[in-house]
Amino acid sequence: MEDYRYTNREYYEYGSVARNSVAPERRYEPDYERRHAKRPHKGSSFSVLGFAIAGVAFVVFAISMVNYVQLQSELTGKVKSVAAKQVKLNDLKSSNDEHYARITSSVDLESIENIARGELGMTYASEGQVITYVSAGNDYMRKADGN
């Protein structure tokens, strides 16, 4: 049985090597049109949905990137502020150390003792004036004079 197919506007004959001089008639195959009919594109609703999802994803990505840039900028500002405050703290510490060294070097303990004994009449404590007390904890005590 010979089988004919119409493809690319040419006739092909299957099962025989020799060609007929007359073009064979085209046979009607009922399933051929159904099998080869152009079908409507089923993915059109999917592509709209896909574009919508991609658009939402892009918007979410853009918002997150803007938020990231804002946070990065805020962090950079705070780091600069902390660095400036550390520099100021170091300057204040060195200035404080300089003032303390100048004050301690300018104090003459002998002149203070001479002024306290001579002008103010102070004396060393006598033997009965000093009371020693040993504390069991970290508490402190004050002695109040009853006079």
pLDDT, averaged per 10 consecutive residues of the chain (147 residues), comes to 50 55 61 65 67 94 97 97 97 95 86 89 82 72 61
On whether the CB atoms of residues 1 and 15 are closer than 8 A, the answer is: yes
* Angstrom distance (rounded) from CA 15 to CA 22: 17
What pLDDT is stored for residue 109 in this prediction? 85
Is 17 within the bounds of a domain? yes
Q: In angstroms, what CA-CA distances link 69 with 62, 63, 74?
A: 11, 10, 9
Is 22 within the bounds of a domain? yes
What pLDDT is stored for residue 46 in this prediction? 65
Burial class (CB in 10 A: 0-12, 13-18, 19+), 4: middle
What pLDDT is stored for residue 131 in this prediction? 75
Is 102 within the bounds of a domain? yes
Is 47 within the bounds of a domain? no
Range of the domain at 22: 3-38+55-106
Is 124 within the bounds of a domain? no
What pLDDT is stored for residue 21 in this prediction? 55
Please count the structural domains in the chain.
1
Strands (E), 27-139: none
Place of tokens 């089923």: 42
What pLDDT is stored for residue 1 in this prediction? 46
In what helix (H) or strand (E) does residue 3 lie, and over which residues does it extend? strand 3-7
